[in-house]
């Protein structure tokens, strides 16, 4: 159930659902999703479902990871630097890490971040820099970013994140409180173009950190 064959079937389903970027599909073929979920759920890791991880958080369903990643990478320049808000178990981080030059990722729950840091290191995923902080403020030290991916639902995109986006940069976010929509923003000059994708359900983007 946790084999390469199971993963191949997952990727096949993603193709059937309309994911067409071959690099994204290839990345998802390689990242061992069963190692990112709790052992009790490892058998279900390749179903197209969101699953619980520690600290009342969830790992997003494979289709949504693929969809968000595809929207982002289709629009990125060569050797991009990407900021992720909401590291969680690090599955999305690991997929991104195969596709971009460097991933900066922020998680607000410190013990969750520590576990994820160890997991990524043990998988030899090394082009990732992680920190525990409130992602609402972004990571100005390493800005601007060619892409920003927010994996928790924000009532609206935090303005610090828009500021830290490069010219032509792309931001993917589940936006809204009760009703959430996946949105893609592109920054051109002082304008922000927006495109609405489908309805989604994410845990909320919260304030502050938990130690
Ligand atoms: N990308 C993750 C999805 C995790 S769920 C994965 O593949 O597993 C969303 C995560 O966002 C949770 O871990 C939650 O703690 C985190 N989060 C919520 N608000 C945040 C904030 N303001 N800053 C950083 N992380 C936040």
CA distance 83 to 133: 13
Q: What percent of the chain has pLDDT over 70?
A: 99
Say whether pLDDT at 1 is over 90: no
Q: Encoding tokens for residue 116?
A: 């994820």
178-192 pLDDT, tens digit per residue, is 899 999 999 998 899
Active-site position among 60, 122, 159, 166: 60
Number of domains in the chain: 1
pLDDT for position 94: 98
Containing structural domain, residue 165: 63-200
3-state secondary structure 123-181: CCCCCEEEEECCHHHCCHHHCCEEEEEECCEECCCCHHHHHCEEEEEEEEEEECCCCEE
Please, are residues 168 and 185 in contact by the beta-carbon 8 Å criterion?
A: no
Alpha helix (H) residue ranges in 78-170: 91-97, 110-122, 159-163
Q: Is residue 48, in this structure, part of any structural domain at all? A: no
| Residue 69 belongs to domain with CATH number | 3.40.50.150
Q: How confident is the model at residue 2 (pLDDT cuts 50, 70, 90)?
A: low
Q: Give CA 113 to chain center in angstroms.
A: 14
* pLDDT, average across residues 90-115: 98
Average pLDDT of the chain? 96
For the segment 138-145, the average pLDDT, to the nearest whole number, is: 98
* Cα 139 to middle of ligand 1, angstroms: 15
Bin 92: left if φ > 0, else alpha if -120 < ψ < 50, else beta.
Answer: alpha
**20 in a domain, yes or no?**
no
User: Cα(6) to centroid of ligand 1, in Å?
Assistant: 27
In a domain, 81, yes or no: yes
Within-domain flag for 37: no
Residue that wins the pLDDT comparison between 54 and 81: 81
Q: Cβ atoms within 10 A of the Cβ of 136, count?
A: 19
Separation between Cα atoms, residue 165 and residue 113, nearest integer Å: 24
Q: Could you tell me the distance, in angstroms and rounded to a whole number, from the CA of residue 151 to the centre of ligand 1? A: 6
Residue 105 Cβ contacting ligand 1 at under 6 Å? no
pTM score of the predicted model: 0.97
Q: Is 60 a catalytic residue?
A: yes
Ligand 1 pocket: which of 87, 106, 180 to mutate (most atoms <8 Å of CB)? 87
């Amino acid at each position: 159930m946790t084999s390469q064959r199971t993963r191949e079937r997952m990727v096949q389903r993603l193709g059937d659902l309309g994911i067409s970027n071959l690099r994204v599909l290839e990345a998802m073929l390689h990242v061992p999703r069963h190692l990112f979920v709790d052992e009790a759920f490892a058998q279900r890791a390749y179903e197209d479902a969101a699953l619980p991880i520690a600290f009342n958080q969830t790992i997003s369903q494979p289709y949504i990871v693929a969809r968000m990643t595809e929207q982002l990478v289709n629009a990125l320049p060569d050797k991009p630097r990407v900021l992720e808000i909401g590291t969680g178990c690090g599955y999305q981080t690991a997929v991104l890490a195969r596709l971009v030059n460097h991933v900066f990722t922020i998680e607000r729950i410190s013990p969750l971040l520590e576990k994820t840091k160890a997991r990524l290191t043990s998988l030899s995923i090394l082009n990732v820099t992680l920190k525990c902080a409130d992602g609402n403020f972004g990571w100005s030290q390493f800005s601007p970013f060619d892409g920003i991916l927010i994996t928790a639902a924000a009532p609206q995109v935090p303005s610090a994140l828009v500021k830290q986006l490069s010219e032509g940069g792309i931001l993917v976010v589940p936006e809204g409180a009760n009703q959430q929509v996946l949105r893609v923003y592109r920054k051109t000059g002082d304008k922000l173009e927006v495109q609405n994708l489908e309805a989604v359900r994410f845990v909320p983007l919260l304030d502050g950190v938990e130690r």
